[in-house]
Chains A and B, each alone.
Chain A
């Protein structure tokens, strides 16, 4: 669905690249996470893929269209949810969606159904200017689905949302993906990436450092340990066992057999820890 080869971009048209030699491919139906700290080049890459920024160097194909000579009908296949909500504040939620419906040449979704889907039911006829930041964000998110996109760009889709709403948004993303929608998710939130993405790319200083599935990354970079808390002579004891070493495995079995286990956790590395390990940089 997306193919990027040797992508470079410089805002000053010189050797200071915001994106340097990026290469990746996203097959249909995948949720691809593009992860990195602020200023890493995430939004620049997304801007090029969506035609908001001109393609300077490299080959980029999006939904079967060459981005160098972008065709407007490409946008029939694309949905874009921006990090900063951008709806007409003087128009109601329904008027906003109804207007955007008319800007596509494909079958579009019902505005009221989308408003309901993102939890804004009852607010159809309220002007977006009266909405809270989170509500505007949800309306922006709803708008990005108006044209039933085959390829969906999501920029920080849960930022600024309370946990319950964020969970609903994640459910919607999963549902859309089940329908076959390819998703390009840009975020610095490793938890949402971990939960949703089939594969993730780590980008720092414009360079993609790594691309793989969260599961494989955890296996590769995480420590295979189990931390056990158990009661021993009236006190709480804590021990860590390797799930690979035979000696530790035997000792773990002994502890389980001999003592009352209070808690037992695998010491799997988080995506954030792996990011720091791989890139040497935090996500803040």
Chain B
């Protein structure tokens, strides 16, 4: 009952404080970005500038290949700015590329230079021998260069038979992917629900330390852990509310809200308990800023791995936010892995409990007079 009264008091204090509205405003800002700035899906197509130095009789063959790859099977005449001049080109769009076919070789090379893109010149001599010249940026990997070299030096039959010999096993037949916008959501939820929670909880404690109210609480019949837990409760509730503010308009009914509730309880508890531990070592937020800032940077690192899957070192997996990002992704995916969500929630809860008990011990020790 005393815990409930402490919780109600914390809610009252939070609604009269600055940080509560910072959290709500941050959630509003994230939502605005997701709905009005970030597109449903990014255009991933890579621009390539091509010049075909081939006889007119052969051009028909190459054009038919391009049209076959084109999404709508038709060419689009476009205007391209080059050195403050407008030139025209033919655009063929595939799922992965925008191929611009230009009238002059130097146009393709200049655009590769100015647009930091890939250019190719396809030359056919009188004997019908085709030569491919690629203009790259210099940072391409050897692997990519070798692929181009092999591609044009091996018989296509050999390559095709090699491709055909690959054993491809489909693990999930009806795999559903998140849109690019939805895919950003786990990152926002991790930042909003956990890192902000840790930071704001520490701020609440510093505010109480400044006012000296912890000492007043310590001479009542209510134990200090109830005081600390009531703060954790407020942070968890706030992160639940703000996470819903972001998630519902973006993802609708697709998310696993029960899983989200459980996961936010676990992650929120762990993050706020970490905030408690930090707050127990410092008197005010200024002194703790270095530690808080360093920790936030460390915990943000898995975001890089999340958005650049090719960079995913093993050690990254030991940073708790890595599991948070994965957990939120499972929550948002239709048919997400509930056992992962529950396991991760349990793990975070246990970690939070250990941190909380440690923080409680620290606070009991540091109630200096």
Contacts and interface: CB of A to CB of B under 8 A. Distances in A.
Contact of A52 (B2, B219, B221, B222): B219
B13 interface: yes
B216 interface: yes
B343 interface: no
A24 interface: no
B221 A75 contact: yes
Given A72-B223, A99-B9, A88 B213 contact: yes
B220 A104 contact: yes
22 contacts: A43-B369, A46-B369, A50-B219, A51-B219, A52-B215, A52-B368, A75-B221, A80-B219, A82-B212, A82-B216, A86-B213, A86-B215, A86-B216, A87-B211, A87-B216, A88-B213, A91-B9, A91-B12, A103-B221, A104-B221, A105-B221, A140-B216
User: How many B residues touch the partner, as a band?
Assistant: 20 to 34
B216 A54 contact: no
A86 B221 contact: no
A84 B215 CA distance: 11
Contacts, number: 75
B56 to A, nearest CB: 82
B221 A73 contact: yes
Interface string A35-77: 0000000011011001111100000000000000000110110
Contacts of B221: 72-73, 75-76, 103-105
Contacts of A105: 221
B319 interface: no
A281 interface: no
A76 B216 CA distance: 13
A100 interface: yes
Nearest to B217: A103
Given A82-B215, A88-B9, A91-B13, 14 more contacts: A44-B369, A47-B369, A52-B367, A52-B369, A53-B369, A72-B221, A75-B219, A86-B212, A87-B213, A90-B13, A95-B12, A103-B6, A103-B217, A143-B216
B124 interface: no
A85 B1 CA distance: 26
- Shortest beta-carbon contacts, A-B, top 3: A86-B212, A103-B220, A47-B369
A46 B368 CA distance: 11
Interface string A132-162: 0000000010010000000000000000000
Contacts of A232: none
Contact of A100 (B215, B216, B367): B216
Contacts of A102: 1-2, 5
Interface in B1-42: 1-2, 5-6, 9, 12-13, 16-17
B84 interface: no
A88 B365 CA distance: 22
A157 B367 CA distance: 21
A152 to B, nearest CB: 11
Nearest to B219: A80
Nearest to A11: B368
Interface string B223-235: 1000000000000
Contacts of B16: 90-91
Interface in B170-220: 211-213, 215-220
Contacts of A140: 216
A140 B215 CA distance: 12
